[in-house]
Amino acid sequence: MCLAVPGLVLSTTGDDALTRMGRVDFGGVIKEINLIYVPEAKAGDYVLVHVGFAIAVIDDQEAARVFELLQQIDEAAGTQGVAT
């Protein structure tokens, strides 16, 4: 199963589609992400990221829905005593 995580684009660099990168915030963790597949992405947009590549731009409401689902998963795992 593949997992894509939403992140907020803080800034972009690169002059062409092949070298375009973005600083993306994942709830306080900031990573450099390749934006080759989402040339329309700009600062302030939410993107879905899989293995270092933004694969889609999503709206604020969809990002909030994914964050809510991830929170529910985290809470469910915590109440079931998952071993670490």
Does a structural domain hold residue 75? yes
- pLDDT tens, position by position, 17-75: 888 999 999 989 999 999 999 999 999 999 999 999 999 999 999 999 988 988 898 88
The mean pLDDT of 70-84, rounded to a whole number, is 71
**Residue 84 predicted with pLDDT over 70:** no
Over the Cα atoms of the chain, what is R_g? 14
With respect to residue 84, please indicate whether it lies within any of the assigned structural domains. no
- The answer to whether 49 touches 4, Cβ cutoff 8 Å, is yes
CATH code, domain with 13:
2.30.30.140
**Domains identified in the chain, total number:** 1
Cβ-Cβ contacts under 8 Å for 51 (sequence gap 6 or more)? none
For residue 5 the two structure tokens come to 């995580």
Q: What is the pLDDT of residue 3?
A: 81
Confidence of residue 80 (pLDDT cuts 50, 70, 90): low
Residue 62's domain spans which residues?
5-79
d(CA 28, CA 38): 22
